[in-house]
Structure 1
Amino acid sequence: MTAGAAQPVLRATLEDVARAAGVSLATVDRVVNRREGVRAKTVARVEAAVAKLGYRADVAAARLARGQTFRFAFVLPTGSNSFMTNLTEQVQRTADWLAGQRGFIDILHVDVFDPDVLASALENLSPAYQGVAVIALDHPRVRAAIDELAGRGVAVVTLVSDAPSSRRLHYVGIDNPAAGRTAATLMGRFLAGNEGTVAVIAGSLSLRDHTERQFGFHQILSSEYPDLRALPVIEGRDDSDRTRKLTAALLARHADLRGIYCCGAGNRGIADALEASGRAREVVWITHELTQYTRRFLVRGTLDAIINQDPGHEARSAARVLLAHCSGEPISPDQERIRIDIFLRDNLP
């Protein structure tokens, strides 16, 4: 090796700690795994050696040595929602990483808009699962199903859409009221000096993320932009054909329509209706999630802004939280916080 070349950093082992502390390997193993039967003075020597050497346990190796594995179910929506398709792909990629950590993922697709179907899927999950990540519907039966899983010792993480009054372990997703307020601020600034109506299209108001987004949107629009009047929320069930018809009807009914905020999906339908009407450049349209379709609409000027959440970050975060819980390890709140991204045509990645 040439002079000045970087030296490899070697990870300290239990054997290194045992030598430094002057004790047996078995004693070190007892101390680092918090088992009883070791004198306080010896514990102090081992802990001092651990600190000096910067020893960190290889958790995956420990699970392998114990023959310990975990299996998780990710319950995701059926349908052609582009964001959910991206999320499924990211969960599949996360499964490859998790396998190296002795954790395994099965993906189950169900109709999350139907509380009975979703609750039944949760109620009938195999007892082989130690953890579940689910796009939650905030409905009494779904909350009861989550509570039942938690009562059986199954960790439940809500993903993208929350059911906060349930016994779920953790929510992985953006701050949806803040996302709605952000959309309203953008809408108000884009339409500065204009008067008229603004349409709000949700997928379903049974999905808490959609409800919270439209709540945040109305909160800012009504208080800070009084010249803009939000129309009653309509539900497109994240279906492009349905949202196309709803948007066409809005455009025909409201000559003073100045903006559209879509707090769900079905964006291909909105784009088709706007472009067919010839009003795509005069109506400000703000939506959620960067997909191959919303990117295209943004680039050609039909869409004005995208409020985004990173599906890769969410898939990895859900897996990390479930794995940490089952392994008895801490999580880093900062690492698991999902940020809100704002994309305009000028800053697309």
Structure 2
Amino acid sequence: MRPTVHDIAAAAGVSLATVDRVLNGRPNVRGVTRRKVEEAIRELGYVRDVAAANLAKGRIYPFVFILPASDNSFMHGLHDEVRSAMSRSASERTSIRIVEVPAFDPQALVAALDALVAEKPAGVALVAADAPDVRAAVDRLVEAGVPVVTLVSDLTASARAHYAGIDNIAAGRTAGNLLGRFLGGQRGEVAVLAGSMLVRDHRERLEGFSAVMAEAFPSVRVLPVLEGRDDPDRAEALIGDLLSRHPHVIGIYSLGAGNRGLIRALQGREAGQRLTVVAHELTASTRRALQEGLIDAVLNQDAGHEVRSAVRVLKAKADGLPVIAAQERIRIDIFLKDNLP
């Protein structure tokens, strides 16, 4: 059996109240008494269950999610998942609020992070823009004692505690293999639609995709990336213009979230212009496009799993407990029209 506070009190010859004061670092304990309790803890091998102690004390964990204000379906879904976590606050002992910043705006993100230094919530989760100023702001927040989790897009080389998202290089490579195999040896050009190269997840997907196309499908030329800022209208204009100027385009990889605009452009293409299309994120729009044959495959990440993972990790960090890596691994799902959930 694991030793308890009752065992410590008996071994040290003190009251339970004294043991509690020592364990919680509170004053009004004589030095000799404190040493007796600490010696009993060592001899008994007592390990405190911090989570259980916090539950007993009714501790509430204030968390902040910094999310981009963006008009795309995936980010709408991510906001919904955070609001769902907010609805579970009573049972999970959390107090969650959302701070919105403009999408792809590093300085707005820096300002939001710096504003939290004085507030000192129990933890912060954010969709990161990969910029030196953002890394420095994350480091300042961590130095102030606030654990940080990156969500969807990582911020390596920062002091963030954990990344809740998919392996984006692997996702890009998977997309490349799918697109290349679907093309079946055709020669031609492939367009790439991204949101912004400011975010690491888009850069890494492009890196993985380009590497596979060069290695395994050299007869296909990857065109320079189009940055649609995850804006449906901008994405529609960019793809429509590209298709009118590049008659040899045979495929499109949409690695960001401007898929509503992409789909409108695909619907308006010239009759007989067959395109193979791989996109990210299963939304109402991409689901319909899969069913209608406008998109051939969708790679998906579970936004709900990512939000739940961020909350679990931030609670563990607040309690000084280890993170269970296998539980927090976010998988890449691949959907065709034949296996839609």
Relative to the length of structure 1, the TM-score reads 0.85
* CA positional deviation for 1:328: 1.4
Task: Indicate whether 1:253 and 2:252 are aligned.
Answer: no
Task: Indicate whether 1:348 and 2:307 are aligned.
Answer: no
Local SS of the residue matching 2:253: strand
Number of equivalenced pairs: 330
C-alpha distance in 2, partners of 1:146/1:44?
40
Whether contact under 8 Å (2:5, 2:16) holds in the other structure is: no
Equivalent in the alignment of 2:93: 102
C-alpha distance in 1, partners of 2:242/2:159?
40
Superposed CA deviations along residues 4-26 of structure 1, whole A, max 9, x for unmatched, are xxxxxxxx9969999xx9x9993
Equivalent in the alignment of 1:71: 62
Local SS of the residue matching 2:149: strand
C-alpha distance in 1, partners of 2:272/2:109?
37
Q: Which runs of 5+ in 2 are unaligned?
A: 25-33
Equivalent in the alignment of 1:228: 220
* CA positional deviation for 1:43: 6.9
Equivalent in the alignment of 2:16: 26
The structure-2 alpha-carbon separation of the partners of 1:129 and 1:273, relative to structure 1 and needing over 3 Å to count, comes to same
* CA positional deviation for 1:124: 1.6
The structure-2 alpha-carbon separation of the partners of 1:297 and 1:37, relative to structure 1 and needing over 3 Å to count, comes to farther
Q: Which runs of 5+ in 1 are unaligned?
A: 1-11, 51-55
Equivalent in the alignment of 2:36: 37
Equivalent in the alignment of 1:316: 308
C-alpha distance in 2, partners of 1:41/1:241?
68
Superposed CA deviations along residues 69-112 of structure 1, whole A, max 9, x for unmatched, are 22111001102211111111111222233432322111111113
C-alpha distance in 2, partners of 1:281/1:252?
11
Superposed CA deviations along residues 208-238 of structure 1, whole A, max 9, x for unmatched, are 0000000100000011101100000110000
Letter in structure 2 aligned against 1:96: S
Equivalent in the alignment of 2:177: 185
Task: Indicate whether 1:141 and 2:140 are aligned.
Answer: no
Whether contact under 8 Å (2:120, 2:145) holds in the other structure is: no
Q: Which deviates more, 240-249 or 37-46?
A: 37-46
The one of 79, 82, 88 equivalent to 2:79 is 88
C-alpha distance in 1, partners of 2:320/2:55?
16
C-alpha distance in 1, partners of 2:60/2:154?
27
Whether contact under 8 Å (1:259, 1:285) holds in the other structure is: yes
Whether contact under 8 Å (1:74, 1:132) holds in the other structure is: yes
The one of 141, 164, 182 equivalent to 1:172 is 164
Local SS of the residue matching 2:137: helix
The structure-2 alpha-carbon separation of the partners of 1:301 and 1:152, relative to structure 1 and needing over 3 Å to count, comes to same
The structure-2 alpha-carbon separation of the partners of 1:16 and 1:120, relative to structure 1 and needing over 3 Å to count, comes to closer
Local SS of the residue matching 1:71: strand
The structure-2 alpha-carbon separation of the partners of 1:96 and 1:327, relative to structure 1 and needing over 3 Å to count, comes to farther
Whether contact under 8 Å (1:76, 1:110) holds in the other structure is: yes
Whether contact under 8 Å (1:14, 1:25) holds in the other structure is: no
* CA positional deviation for 1:42: 8.4
The one of 296, 300, 306 equivalent to 2:288 is 296
Letter in structure 2 aligned against 1:317: S
Superposed CA deviations along residues 31-77 of structure 1, whole A, max 9, x for unmatched, are xx699635878877787xx9xxxxx95835x2254353221110011
The structure-2 alpha-carbon separation of the partners of 1:79 and 1:280, relative to structure 1 and needing over 3 Å to count, comes to farther
Equivalent in the alignment of 1:336: 328
Superposed CA deviations along residues 226-271 of structure 1, whole A, max 9, x for unmatched, are 1100000110000000000000011111111010001101111111
The structure-2 alpha-carbon separation of the partners of 1:325 and 1:46, relative to structure 1 and needing over 3 Å to count, comes to closer
The structure-2 alpha-carbon separation of the partners of 1:42 and 1:134, relative to structure 1 and needing over 3 Å to count, comes to closer
Equivalent in the alignment of 1:272: 264
The structure-2 alpha-carbon separation of the partners of 1:260 and 1:310, relative to structure 1 and needing over 3 Å to count, comes to same
Superposed CA deviations along residues 152-189 of structure 1, whole A, max 9, x for unmatched, are 11111110011101111111100000000000000010
Whether contact under 8 Å (2:70, 2:103) holds in the other structure is: no
C-alpha distance in 1, partners of 2:270/2:321?
56
The one of 198, 201, 210 equivalent to 2:190 is 198
C-alpha distance in 1, partners of 2:105/2:40?
60
Letter in structure 1 aligned against 2:280: H
Equivalent in the alignment of 1:157: 149
Relative to the length of structure 2, the TM-score reads 0.87
Local SS of the residue matching 2:88: helix
CA RMSD, 1 decimal: 3.1
The structure-2 alpha-carbon separation of the partners of 1:116 and 1:37, relative to structure 1 and needing over 3 Å to count, comes to same
* CA positional deviation for 1:116: 1.2
C-alpha distance in 2, partners of 1:211/1:279?
33
Equivalent in the alignment of 1:4: none
Letter in structure 2 aligned against 1:72: F
Q: Which deviates more, 128-137 or 66-75?
A: 66-75
Whether contact under 8 Å (1:187, 1:284) holds in the other structure is: yes
